[in-house]
Amino acid sequence: MHKYTKPTLHKLEHVYKELDYTVRYEKGTFKSGYCIVENSKVVVINKFFDTDARVGILMDILNDILTDVDKLSDKSAQVYRSLLKSHLNIA
């Protein structure tokens, strides 16, 4: 199983920033471990999740909200594609 690192998580958070989304880590009773406030472009993830779970959830959400990879900078698009390959191999 792949172990994601904090720098990987930070790169993924930057992808969200480029899409004008805010990622927050808070405690709550999310049945799925996260919630999305669509109108505010806020993603709230259970703060007790480890780095692997955070990256996995952020990738799942990103696959739903990212309709056009061309909206991302070249660097962020490369991060996304790399993580997508990795994520699909372990999912």
pLDDT tens readout for residues 24-83: 999 877 777 788 887 899 999 999 999 999 999 999 999 999 989 998 999 999 999 999
Owning domain of residue 63: 6-90
- Residue 1: predicted pLDDT: 53
- Report yes or no on 1 lying in a domain: no
Which residue in this structure is represented by tokens 């880590």?
25
Q: Looking at the 3D structure of the chain, how many domains does it have?
A: 1
Q: Where are the alpha helices (DSSP H) in 26-73?
A: 51-65
Asked if residues 57 and 34 have their Cβ atoms less than 8 Å apart, the reply is yes
pLDDT bracket for residue 89 (50, 70, 90)? confident
Residue among 64, 59, 68 at smallest CA distance from 88 = 59
- Residue 72: predicted pLDDT: 95
- Report yes or no on 51 lying in a domain: yes
